Structure 1
Amino acid sequence: MSTLKITDLHVSVETEQGTKQILRGVNLEINSGETHAIMGPNGSGKSTLAYTIAGHPKYTVDSGSITLDGEDVLEMSVDERAKAGLFLAMQYPVEIPGVTVTNFLRTAKTAIDGETPALRTWIKDVREAMANLRMDASFSERNVNEGFSGGEKKRHEILQLELLKPKFAVLDETDSGLDVDALKIVSEGVNRAKENNNLGVLLITHYTRILRYIKPQFVHVFVNGKVAEEGGPELAERLENEGYDRYLEIA
């Protein structure tokens, strides 16, 4: 059992207008095998939380802590966080010209595990994961995210998730830009990773449609940089029906 714990986290970012505080005391604890959904309106700090966990240099942690099994995540470099078992599926994956998917995946796996995977086993694992995600075999020879559709980029993120086998995955609006078929395929990939590796999932989304496929045990409503309410799956259904207006009035 692993635990990702966020305690009284305050985060700010520099803007043209000066320093802006975005997270205002976030508390969250995720254990292996759990799925937590974070929902909230635009600008509430959801993506800031994701990138802070991953170690994006744009965001400054003013106070609070993030620990993984008691180890201080904030003291780790970005690559150390990945090696420790943290994974971020980005809302807008970037293109990496000149680097093929095959080379990218094997290099990442080697860096995280500290040793090169056995070639025969690795090829089998990659082919199986791609087949599960309905990805053509030729996809592996393309450059990372270069010319990919939105759905292809998201499938590639989940391909990484299945092959790298992290302890915790932060999925930043993985459902954005996906049609119904792609959403189902991507969700199945997340569920496989959770079942096979006892993965803990922090799922950031605006809408409940992805929650029909990836079932959360816990739902957290994010408003104005903090958790405004917490509950079970029924809370997500209420948000779908009522929206966020009542939280915005309080904020």
Structure 2
Amino acid sequence: MHYIRPPAEKTAGQNPFYLRKLCPYYRCITIELGKKKYEACLTYYNDPAKISYGIILTHGAGGDMNHKQLVGIAEKLAKAGYLVLRFTCKGLNLAYRTKVFTGIVDYVKENYPHLKGCFIGGRSMGSRAAVGVCCDSKMTDFLQGVICLSYPLHKPNDFKQLRDGPLNDVTKPVLFVSGTDDNMCDREMFLPVLDHMTKSQVHWIEGGNHGLEIKGKPIEDIVLEIELVIRTFIQECLTDKLKRTKVQKAVKKKIKTQ
């Protein structure tokens, strides 16, 4: 593993996190799961030991963790105060990718025990894997929510078989970010699916395709929109969690005094 930091001459004699508001820190690591190794990258602006929540993201069926849009989103979320991990897991077998994703979550939980919880997500097939992980009852306490970027509800322009089954089993909050011109997520077919889910919300990128790209619009602008939506979603989830905790404590206190 290694660190990518600002030039040495600029950091000499200063706190290593002095630039946390100006540029992120990257920690490139190799995670071993069984006999296989997976490349990952941590992004953060503050001392990792002082960060309360983590976010794990992965790519779609093609590409890797260095997808430009995914990197941009990770950097923005890290700047907002989260410990963000991107990882690469190539393959078209959903069960395999879900298994690896579960292992990555275990790695984060074990190596960063100070984290109060974690949000997981991915692009396209990566979002399907994230949903699969969240359906695992063993992850219930640590996982706070799921972020689905361009969830592939069906095959390109093929509406015969929807991939909505696993979505009905998710009990954690789910955020969907999809393009209105996504040929793998028809808007009219997706809305009824959302109605059957326990906790879900969707943000539509106007004119966005399956890659969440818009002709003539800079990728930076799209990244800003996506990051803001994700950050707002996370803040809402954590606020609701705090409210529930206070209610639970109040109930326990009342029971003890009776």
Fold shared by both chains (TM-score > 0.5): no
**More strand as a share of residues:** 1
Return the TM-score normalized by structure 1.
Answer: 0.33
Greater relative contact order (Cα < 8 A, sep 6+): 1
Return the TM-score normalized by structure 2.
Answer: 0.32
The structure with the larger Rg is 2
